Amino acid sequence: MNRSSGAILVLSGPSGAGKSSLINKIKDHIGPTYFSISTTTRAIREGEIDGVHYHFVTVDEFKKDIEQEMFLEYAIVHGNYYGTSLGPVKKALKEGKLVIFDIDVQGHDAVRNRLSDITTSVFITTPTLEELKKRLYTRSTDTQEVIEGRIEMAKREVQRISEYDFLVVNDDLEEASEILISIAKAARMKIPTLQINEFVHQWEEQS
């Protein structure tokens, strides 16, 4: 009954909390994975590669995919569309991979609603709001207006931490990565309700 396949790990948290850094730290220590690449209408940033960091599309292309129900979830964040395509996720699950999502709280709701049985969720944040502000200003990738928007969103997102299975405070990258590795390994062992019911039935039948 114990298994190590076909599961989902949702990572959410404010921009600047270090989610990408943590993912890079743990990816070689948690077995076969598929990192779900979001589709977005926002402009590509310097150093980003289409198909690696995001799938960059036009607003019209994104809306067409919405009409065709091609997304597991989608949301408008800071005036741009972000979404998760269903096809690659289903394929990775069938291959027994741990599918990792880096999505916001709205995306977490959508994944929970559709794939709750095999989903483990983690909220990642800085130890304080002040530390988050410091990181956002230090990385110098956004305008003042965008940074202020991210800070306001972070304040709202933090209020929903209780909706997640785990909280990881990314104060020390090494320590946070060790905790996340443990969570990821446990996520692989999560068993869908249907399989549990089948096991109980078989267990009783053997009496």
Phi and psi, residue 170, nearest 5°: -85, 75
> CA 48, CA 189: separation in Å to the nearest integer?
34
CATH number, domain of 200, equals: 3.40.50.300
Confirm whether 58 is domain-assigned. no
**Of 45, 76, 53, 14, residue with least CA distance to 143:** 45
For residue 32, the 8-state DSSP code is S
Where in the sequence is the domain holding 166, given as residue range(s)?
Answer: 7-36+98-205
Confirm whether 90 is domain-assigned. no
Q: 136-160: per-residue pLDDT in tens?
A: 999 877 889 999 999 999 999 999 9
Confirm whether 54 is domain-assigned. no
pLDDT of residue 33: 94
Q: 88-131: per-residue pLDDT in tens?
A: 888 899 999 999 998 889 889 989 988 899 999 999 999 999 99
H or E element, residue 97: none
